[in-house]
A = this chain, B = another copy of it.
Amino acid sequence: MAGHGYESGRLNLPFVGISTFGKRAYVADWDAIEADVAVMGAPFDFGTQFRPGARFGPRAVREASTLFSFGHAGAYDHEDDATYLGPEVTIVDIGDADIVHTDTVKSHANIETGVRAMLKAGVLPVVIGGDHSINIPCIRAFEADCAEKGPIHILQIDAHLDFVDERHGVTEGHGNPMRRAAEKGYVSGITALGIRNVSSTSKEGYDAARAMGDDFLSVRQVRKLGAEGVLARIPEGARIYVTIDIDGFDPSIAPGTGTPSHGGFLYYEVLEILQGVAKRHEVVGIDLVEVAPDYDPTGSTPILAAQVLLNFLGFIFHARQSGGAPAAG
């Protein structure tokens, strides 16, 4: 950074500088990704059934992430007495997958290409949506990875089950991703948390989900079980892919989303489950979807998304360093 011409370095306040994820370096060449984590945007929202705008999710989450990016030497958390994401953890931002308006198939294929590049580079892939349909190409991209390293188990934080098979020919909208995932031979199961209220999934969808290995729990059921009880339901030793639909959270803290559903999770409820997963499991992929920032003029929603992602990444690499979870394999 000497190039900036400031002999004393930069204070680098959150509002200063280009908005890459966590103000980390931008890597435009997907053949040259070298890091522990790579973050990619997937600004696709033609799959949504109510309010659009998740295409601006990646930009908003990147901008919000700058609020948490002013530590030079990692983020000290006094509750855990731990420093997260110190200089030994490298994160890069590889920009966005290319999106083609009117064309769902091509846009999804471009997202898949990006995740394949990340997996090929051996980094932990983090994808910021976009609507929940972008999970479909993300999971598709894991086919080769799973062929080599074994199946993945999906941990879903969401208000909606997203287990519609097909309606009016639609199979890759934001109501379909978990059904598509469950069909894959390399997805060993799904743990879905926060599922509540009416949605596009019908009773038949719920029955199918149960039959296909989807263990879904409502917010109240999760609260009764507690974090430990929930964690106990995830198969031991499973490689975990985490998909976080921001509407799994309560509208009080995540109003900026397309299909809000009251009665959702509060912050620590999700955080503690994610921390537990980081300690017990290898986390092999993450997506966070459905942040539609223009519906939240307070900015709370993208701040929540950034805060959750950065904390979760902190937990994962802290656990890897502590030996608490197997390193990527």
A294: CB under 8 A from chain B? yes
Contact at B15–A56, with CB atoms within 8 Å?
A: yes
Q: A299 vs B93: C-alpha distance in the bound complex, in angstroms?
A: 26
Q: Could you show 28 A-B contacts with beta carbons less than 8 Å apart?
A: A5-B30, A11-B99, A11-B168, A11-B170, A13-B99, A15-B51, A16-B43, A16-B98, A17-B95, A18-B20, A18-B62, A46-B101, A49-B70, A51-B56, A52-B53, A53-B53, A72-B202, A73-B203, A76-B201, A78-B218, A101-B170, A103-B104, A197-B311, A255-B299, A260-B300, A294-B294, A294-B295, A297-B297
Contact at A267–B262, with CB atoms within 8 Å?
A: yes
A205 to chain B: closest residue by CB: B76
A315: CB under 8 A from chain B? no
Interface size class of A (residues with CB under 8 A): 35 or more
> CB < 8 Å: which of B10, B17, B41, B48 contacts A101?
B48
Chain A 16-37: CB-based contact to B (< 8 A → 1; otherwise 0): 1111100000101111100000
Number of copies: 6
Shortest 8 CB-CB contacts between residues of A and residues of B: A3-B29, A255-B298, A75-B198, A252-B252, A52-B52, A76-B203, A46-B46, A263-B267
Chain A 291-304: CB-based contact to B (< 8 A → 1; otherwise 0): 00011111110011
List chain B residues, Cβ under 8 A from A303: 251, 260, 262
Q: How far is the CB of A233 from chain B (nearest CB, A)?
A: 16
A54 to chain B: closest residue by CB: B52
A200: CB under 8 A from chain B? yes
A78 to chain B: closest residue by CB: B206
> CB < 8 Å: which of B17, B100, B295 contacts A298?
B295
Which of A15, A202, A203 has the largest number of chain B CB atoms within 10 A?
A15
Q: How far is the CB of A95 from chain B (nearest CB, A)?
A: 5
Q: A8 vs B100: C-alpha distance in the bound complex, in angstroms?
A: 12
List chain B residues, Cβ under 8 A from A76: 198, 201-203, 206
Q: How far is the CB of A30 from chain B (nearest CB, A)?
A: 5
Q: How far is the CB of A293 from chain B (nearest CB, A)?
A: 11
List chain B residues, Cβ under 8 A from A73: 202-203
Q: A58 vs B20: C-alpha distance in the bound complex, in angstroms?
A: 14
Q: How far is the CB of A160 from chain B (nearest CB, A)?
A: 11
List chain B residues, Cβ under 8 A from A104: 102-103
A294 to chain B: closest residue by CB: B294
List chain B residues, Cβ under 8 A from A55: 15, 52
User: Among A106-114, A183-191, A276-284, which stretch is in contact with chain B?
Assistant: A106-114
A45: CB under 8 A from chain B? yes
A157-199 CB contacts (< 8 Å) to partner B: 161, 167-170, 172-174, 195-198
Contact at A299–B260, with CB atoms within 8 Å?
A: yes
Instruction: Report if A169-B100 is in contact (Cβ < 8 Å); known contacts: A13-B50, A15-B43, A26-B26.
Output: yes
> CB < 8 Å: which of B103, B114, B195 contacts A5?
B114
A108 to chain B: closest residue by CB: B102
A13 to chain B: closest residue by CB: B49
Contact at B304–A262, with CB atoms within 8 Å?
A: yes
